[in-house]
Amino acid sequence: MVDFKDLLQSADWKAEKHVPVIDCPETVKKGQILKFDVSVGKQIPHPNTTEHHIRSIEVYFLAEGDKFPCQVARFEFGAHGESVQGPNTSTVFSEPSAGGCLKTEKKGTLMAVSYCNIHGVWKSGKEVDVV
């Protein structure tokens, strides 16, 4: 049986278009709102067609010392040019980019997971210090 963790792919987002990019401050004050943006295709645009697209991005935060992460957000991208006339005939295409906020009292790791309908599941993470 395949283990899900073995399916998680990662790479440098500057060289691989499937890796989710996390943009947020590296340091926040305790109780301060941490605003973040996540996207796929920041350096190299990802296709967004009916046949090949990013379907979702999930964001988690693992506080230092905690056993499990908290799911902070889940973004679904549902418009990929499909319509009743056929593939790529609509004028509506989602872009795999979204933002959110969280508050925390502990430093930790903000993690993102993106899902490409052709190339699977991709992950990235960014350390956040809380002072």
CATH number (domain holding residue 18): 2.60.40.730
Among this protein's residues, is 42 annotated catalytic? no
Tens digit of each residue's pLDDT (9 = 90 or more) over 26-48: 999 998 999 999 999 988 889 99
What is the predicted pLDDT for the residue at 66? 97
For 39-72, b where at least 16 C-beta lie within 10 A, e where not — what string?
bbbbeeebebebeebbebbbbbbbbeeeeeeeeb
Residues 69, 58 contacting (CB under 8 angstroms)? no
Q: Which residue has the tokens 């992950």?
A: 123
| Active-site entry in 106, 107, 119, 126 | 119
Among this protein's residues, is 52 annotated catalytic? yes
The domain total for the chain is: 1
Tens digit of each residue's pLDDT (9 = 90 or more) over 55-66: 999 999 999 999
Among this protein's residues, is 53 annotated catalytic? no
> What range defines the domain where residue 37 resides?
4-130
Structure tokens at 12: 């440098």
Structure tokens at 60: 């988690």
